[in-house]
């Protein structure tokens, strides 16, 4: 995956804005979506309850949509909760 300077700047801004509101997130990695190599996933560790994770995802999606509309780059914050229990 290749990321240009503008993409890195926008990724940093997006992550920092989300982290400002949800300080418990930690950057884990970046990867391309398996369905669209132009869509970059910003993987984060999000140690939070489900309601807060949903709130964070909605907030990040709104910011990412603004970036898509303004610059044409598609990013998504992808949370991973290390304490989640799936049944």
Q: Quickly state the pLDDT bin for 1 (edges 50, 70, 90).
A: confident
What is the tens place of the pLDDT at every residue in 10-30? 999 999 999 999 999 999 999
User: Is residue 87 situated within a structural domain?
Assistant: no
User: Is residue 25 situated within a structural domain?
Assistant: yes
Whether 62 and 32 have beta carbons less than 8 Å apart is answered as: no
User: Is residue 34 situated within a structural domain?
Assistant: yes
Tell me the residue range of the domain where 48 lies: 5-80
Q: Is 14 exposed, middle or buried (0-12, 13-18, 19+ CB in 10 A)?
A: buried
H-helix or E-strand spanning residue 58: helix 50-71
Domain count of the chain?
1
What is the tens place of the pLDDT at every residue in 40-83? 999 999 999 989 999 999 999 999 999 999 999 999 999 998 87
CATH number of the domain residue 67 falls in: 3.30.70
């Amino acid at each position: 995956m290749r990321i240009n300077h503008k993409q890195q700047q926008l990724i940093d801004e997006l992550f920092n804005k989300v982290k400002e509101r949800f300080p418990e997130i930690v950057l884990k990695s970046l990867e391309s979506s398996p369905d669209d190599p132009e869509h970059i996933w910003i993987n984060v560790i999000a140690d939070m309850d489900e309601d807060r994770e949903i709130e964070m995802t909605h907030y990040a999606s709104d910011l990412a949509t603004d970036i898509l509309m303004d610059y044409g780059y598609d990013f998504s914050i992808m949370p991973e909760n290390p304490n989640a229990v799936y049944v």
